[in-house]
Structure 1
Amino acid sequence: MTRPHPRPRATGPATRRAVRRAGLALGCLLLLAATACTGGGGDAPRPDDGKDRAADGPLVVASGLDVTGSGGVRRQLVEEWNRRHAGSRDKQAELVELPGDADQQRSQLLGALQSGSARYDVVNLDITWIPEFAEAGLVSPMPPAASEREADDDLDFMKRVHATTVWKGRSYARPFNTDVGLLYHRTDVLTGAGIPAGRQPSADWTWQDLYASVKTLGVSPRSTRDQAGWTTQLKEYEGLTVNVVEAFADVHVKLADADGRYKADPVSLKKGLDALLTRNRLGQVQPAALSSDETSSLADFAAGRAVFLRHWPYAYGALGGMLDPDRYGVNRLPGTAVLGGQNLAVTADSARAEDARALVRFLTSAESERCLLDAGFAATRDSTYRPGAKACWPRVAAALRPSPGATAREGAPKEQSEAARAAYRTTL
């Protein structure tokens, strides 16, 4: 997660000027995005000389920070693997969490794998990084299923999610957790404004429905302290990119072809940017959104400075420590929602690729996916959302429960409601 910038205290005209500046910045961003896929890596952590311990040290899993907090579900899953292989020293695994935002983590991983400065066996890659790492030969293709049981297990992954592991016809990873944009709403505020449950967000809601609700609320924010219709992440980082892509997709503007080649033109770029600006204008966006990331936009929503919020699945659990459950709800995002998430890949230079692949299979098993879902991530398997799904590993489930006497804010992430799970399944 990135640290939010201080929120500007903008007047109405200043906010409009900021939105216009954001439009210009978005144009530049899109041009930069067209050439960003081949960027080089930066410096990576150097735990030691990887070559010296490649054969006898633990299997090393490199990942970004776990949004479920310290001692989070990813670390608990690695520890469960270690317990199940307690008698095999060479199968023990270690989770290394990389600092910084997603762009910084990508640079660190590229630098480490290209230079050999750090020895990683498994890397947790954002789905958009798979083509780049595969094309550079930094991760190995996944071998075909060795048995009918493995083949059936692979088919359990959602098709749209599994497709993110494929580059040029070959799969280079297994889906770990997925992410999809969701629409959160303040049930208490909508009900208090006389908007009945039947007119609140549902699976078939459109942006026009959101605009109509905002109009009923009568909000017109002129400063970051005012109540707004909605908020999202428009700070200049990947959150802004996601919002741009979703707005563009809603008006059928594609920035790249199936091979990742840039294909937009000035006319289509203007059409997409107009869609984004219209969304923010009619939705009466919170002025602070222009400098907001996931953390600050979530705080604005919880504090009542926005009635609607575009966010990721883990926000549902985070809100459990901020609001009573009857004060907010979640449903699918109107229009197009960007598919995000992470996939686990085995590095091309791993000295123990077979053990690394076994670790990846464990971390993406049906039981592990249930643990991820219970901790606030969206799971990648169809079966995880169905009746009779396999339960989370017992010791992991116990580790994720709040300790006796813990407050909601101090405890483990709030378990997903059926509404949240239905929203994931419907969208995916």
Structure 2
Amino acid sequence: MSEPAGQWSPRKKIGYIAFVVGMVVVITSASAYMVTAVDRRWTPGSIALTVVSGIMVVVSGICINVLPKTVTTIWRNPERLPAPGDPRWLLRVLTKPFRVLLILATVVVIVAVGIAAIPPATGLEPGPIRVMTAFGEGASDPRTVLFRQWSQSHPDNPVQVEFVQGETDQQYERMVNDAKPGGEHKADLYVLDLVWMPQFAANGYVRELDRASISETDRSDFTPSVLDTCAWDGKLYGLPFNTDAGLIFYRTDVPGVAKPDTWDDYFGASAKAEAAVAKAGPYGVKAANAAQLADEEVLTVTALEAIWAAGGKMVTVNGDLTLNPDGTEVALGAEDLKGIENLALAAKDPDLVLTENDTAAKSAESGALDSFRSKTTLYMRNWPVAADSLGKSVEFAVAAPPTSSVLGGQNLAIASSTDKPRAARALADFLTSPSSQLILSDMGSFAPTRQSTYRFSERTDVNEVRAAVERARPRPITPHYTRFSQVFRTGILRALNNGGKVEESFARDLVEAWNGR
């Protein structure tokens, strides 16, 4: 039966309403999607897309607001629907202020929904990744090899190295000047000495890493004490690039010289006795130990290891300071003072410690390495990488120290100022991967940060390196470490020249430096 003139059947009304609602849904969805597709780099194409998106959002806002009245009209008075192309309905809508406000509010909601629906970016930002580091560039250096591998496999993100030169304190200052507010911000990724991590994290120089972004396999594979050096205040700010711990290098071509069982065996009376016997033979020996006592970070390392060897507890196994009850001074116990005294006695004994220009205080890492290489000493405490520098110049073996050594190493931290955080993180993941750690270990004698690397490494000293790393202890953990180390070694140098006795203000000065005062 045909419909009466001017009347619509319920089925037709429902179909028409469904069509109108569907069109509004399509228009609104399309406009929200176009918001998500806008490219923020503002190319000519993205500008055109932005304009079209804006028009679509406004149209969808109008459609949503007129939809209820349109549906009501279709159901009750379909004959009053505007003719196709009749603009008067739009004019009536736009002349009502309240309706305009509703349209604007709807537009805001649509844009907000579109922005919220934008999926997080997952691709790497294009452009070179600038890595700031203090190690020297060399074609055969395994770190350079890894940079080259990354650049070859990621031509859109080649590594661009920013070298900082000078002594440790100078390197630190230049990196801080780059990272701090108002700095040059040359770096996307920093290769930081682990003792600098607290300051860079506490001051917001580097980005926090989401622990959930590290797989459970990786978290369990990193040596726990090494991964802990990347944390501050319970949050993670980096990944460990390479770790370090002291090794004892000892001559194997001199009778009577063997793997030391105590600190005294390589730095005390026992070592001196061995040196006296060796001097009588054709071995070129001048002293027992190529000690490192220069007024640099190495003196802090040497002094802490002497204190720990004597049983001192001024620096705990967790990198905290042991303080007196009111917290104004470091609690220097008898063992701490004994360790400093032992070091002072060794530093002043030319038969025990080989000096540079007759002054032990001038002996740095390079001098110690040269002395051992030239066969003038029996023992040397140094980092694992020293093995490569020695080569076959002298017959030697290595051993993990009988007591705790200082934990060293470098961490990778993403600069807060970088505009390529995803690319920098991808590079950090690559450099700390199992395969990269194996290259660092076997090509460059770096102590690996992953436990699995020790199982696959072919280096002959791998077991001693692992034992040294597992036994190593952190230096004092504080955002003011550089200042603390300066104050500490200044006090130690004075003690070396005063029979091992520290000045009265030493314990108080350390706490003030620890707290950044």
Amino acid at match of 2:131: V
Question: What is the Cα deviation at residue 124 of structure 1?
Answer: 0.6
Superposition pairs for residues 320-399 of structure 1, below 5 Å? 320=391, 322-323=393-394, 327-374=395-442, 375-387=444-456
* 1:328/1:320 CA distance change after superposition, 3 Å: same
Q: Does 1:84 align with 2:153?
A: yes
In 2, the alpha carbon distance for the partners of 1:286 and 1:259 equals: 31
SS at match of 1:142: coil
1:220/1:228 contact within 8 Å kept: no
RMSD: 2.6
User: 1:32 maps to which residue?
Assistant: none
1 CA distance for matches of 2:320 and 2:206?
19
Query: How far 1:281 sits from its partner (Å)?
Result: 6.4
Query: Match for residue 276 of structure 2?
Result: 218
Name the counterpart of 2:31.
none
Q: % of aligned pairs identical?
A: 31
Match of 2:135 among 56, 65, 71: 65
Instruction: Give the deviation of 1:232 after TM superposition.
Output: 2.0
Q: 1:113-262 to 2 correspondence within 5 Å?
A: 113-114=179-180, 115-146=182-213, 150-189=215-254, 191=255, 195=256, 200-201=258-259, 205-210=261-266, 211-218=269-276, 227-256=286-315
> What secondary structure is seen at the aligned counterpart in 2 of 1:185?
strand
Question: Per-residue displacement from partner, 1:1-41 (whole Å, max 9, x unpaired)?
Answer: xxxxxxxxxxxxxxxxxxxxxxxxxxxxxxxxxxxxxxxxx
Q: Does 1:316 align with 2:387?
A: yes
- Please say if residues 271 and 352 of structure 2, whose CA atoms lie closer than 8 Å, have aligned partners that are also in contact: no
Matches within 5 A, 1:273-284: 273-280=340-347, 284=352
1:99 aligns to 2:165 (yes or no): yes
1:176 aligned counterpart, secondary structure: strand
One-letter amino acid of the counterpart of residue 154, structure 2: H
Query: Per-residue deviation at 1:287?
Result: 2.4
TM-fit CA distance, 1:163: 1.2
CA distance in 2, matches of 1:75, 1:92: 12
- Cα distance in structure 2, aligned partners of 1:206 and 1:176: 31
Q: 1:200 to 1:321 in 2, by over 3 A?
A: closer
Residue of structure 2 aligned with 1:108, choices 148, 155, 174: 174
Give CA-to-partner distance per residue, 1:160-186, whole Å, 9 cap, x none: 111111111111111111111110011
Structure-1-length-normalised TM-score? 0.70
Native 8 Å contact 2:287 2:378 kept in 1: yes
The offset of 1:72, in angstroms, is: 1.6
SS at match of 1:229: strand
Conservation of the 8 A alpha-carbon contact between 2:275 and 2:352: no
Counterpart-to-counterpart distance in 1, 2:297 and 2:277: 28
1:421 equivalent to 2:438? Answer: no
Distance 2:274 2:368 in 1: 22
Q: Quick check: which has more Rg, 1 or 2? A: 2
Tell which has more relative contact order, 1 or 2 (C-alpha 8 A, sep 6+): 1
TM-aligned CA deviation for residue 226 of structure 1: 6.3
Matches within 5 A, 1:406-417: 417=459
Q: 1:358 & 1:175 partners in 2: Cα distance? A: 14
**After superposition, what is the alpha-carbon deviation per residue over 1:65-89, rounded to whole angstroms, capped at 9, x for unaligned?**
24x8455211211111111113xx2
Q: 1:119 to 1:57 in 2, by over 3 A?
A: farther
Cα 1:96–1:321 shift into 2, 3 Å: farther
Deviation at 1:266, TM superposition (A): 5.7
1:207–1:270: structure 2 CA closer, same or farther, 3 Å change rule? closer
Larger displacement relative to structure 2 (375-384 or 246-255): 246-255
Count of aligned pairs: 325
Change (3 A) 1:270 1:261: closer
What per-residue deviation string (whole Å, max 9, x for no partner) do you get for residues 245-303 of structure 1?
Answer: 11122233344566856732466663341132245568811123421211111010111
Distance 2:392 2:375 in 1: 15
The equivalent position to 1:290 in structure 2, one of 361, 375, 378, is 361
The 8 Å contact of residues 219 and 228 in structure 1, kept in 2 or not, is answered as no
CA gap 1:321/1:103 in 2 versus in 1, 3 angstroms:
farther
Structure 1 pair 298/358, CA: closer, same or farther in 2 (3 Å)?
A: same
Residue type of the alignment partner of 2:270: A
Distance 1:279 1:159 in 2: 34
- Relative to structure 1, the CA distance from residue 262 to residue 206 in structure 2 (aligned partners, 3 Å threshold; closer, same or farther) is closer
Contact 1:75–1:95 (CA under 8 A) maintained in structure 2? no
More helix by share: 2
Contact residue 183 and residue 334 of structure 1 kept, 8 A? no
CA distance in 2, matches of 1:177, 1:75: 14
TM-score (norm 2): 0.58
Three-state SS of the structure 1 residue aligned to 2:312 is coil
Instruction: Report Cα offsets for 1:217-243 as digits up to 9, x if no partner.
Output: 41699xxx9610111211100011100
- Distance in 1 of aligned mates of 2:341 and 2:403: 16
Alignment of 1:6-25 (within 5 A): none
Which one is further off, 278-287 or 362-371? 278-287
| In structure 2, distance between residues paired with 1:213 and 1:417 | 28
TM-fit CA distance, 1:63: 0.7
Q: Is the 8 A contact 2:133 2:190 kept in 1?
A: yes
Identify if the C-alpha distance between structure 1 residues 266 and 332 changes in structure 2 by more than 3 Å, giving closer, same or farther. Answer: closer
